[in-house]
Structure 1
Amino acid sequence: MAAIWTFWWAWLALALVLAMIEILLPGFIFLGFAIGAVGVAVIVWLASGLGLPLLLLIFAALSLAAWLGLRRKFRLGDGQVKTFQHDIND
């Protein structure tokens, strides 16, 4: 019987769980992990037979790249502070 990490749908399920956690705890941290898990799912789908250490290395690299990309895309400019001009209840 094959191990669970050799199935592409297991990585997609992990990505879905991580995306749901990101909805509950926003901050683009879990979203980076979810993007990394989707990338590993595609790799497992295309090239099966990779070992767990290599898959975890790919997952870490893709997650880091996704997190850095999200951070660059959604960050505030240098020296800027997020301020609110009105109350949501007004």
Structure 2
Amino acid sequence: MADYLTLWWVWICIALALGVVELLAPGFIFLGFAIGAVIMAGIVALISLSNIPALLALFAVLSLIAWIALKAAFRRQSSGARIVTRDINEN
């Protein structure tokens, strides 16, 4: 088995890089990928996988799940802004 496939810290570095990209392009686009990479770091640290396509497929699935969870979590939050439907200056 190749050593570079068992390096969990590479996934942490990828997550940090994606977090920096998220700071530059806000909108929770890359945050799901960063969360997926952090989860992948934990999986690779616990289970040694040697199949690169399987690792990438698992990363894609975990990132999609994280992105959907973020969308659901932030959709529930209200900004508290009041919507004005009538102008006070109109009679």
Band the TM-score falls in, shorter-chain normalisation: 0.7 to 0.9
Quote the sequence identity (%): 52
Structure 1 position 24, deviation (Å): 1.1
Residue correspondences, number = 83
CA–CA distance in structure 1, aligned partners of residues 49 and 32 of structure 2: 25
Cross-structure match for 1:80: none
Cross-structure match for 1:53: 53
Unaligned ranges ≥5, structure 1:
78-82, 86-90
- The 5 A counterparts of 1:3-82 are 4-75=4-75
TM-score normalised by length of structure 1? 0.77
The structure with the larger Rg is 2
Report the RMSD for the aligned CA atoms in angstroms.
Answer: 2.8
Unaligned ranges ≥5, structure 2:
84-91
TM-score normalised by length of structure 2? 0.77
Report if aligned partners of 1:32, 1:67 keep a CA contact under 8 Å in 2: yes
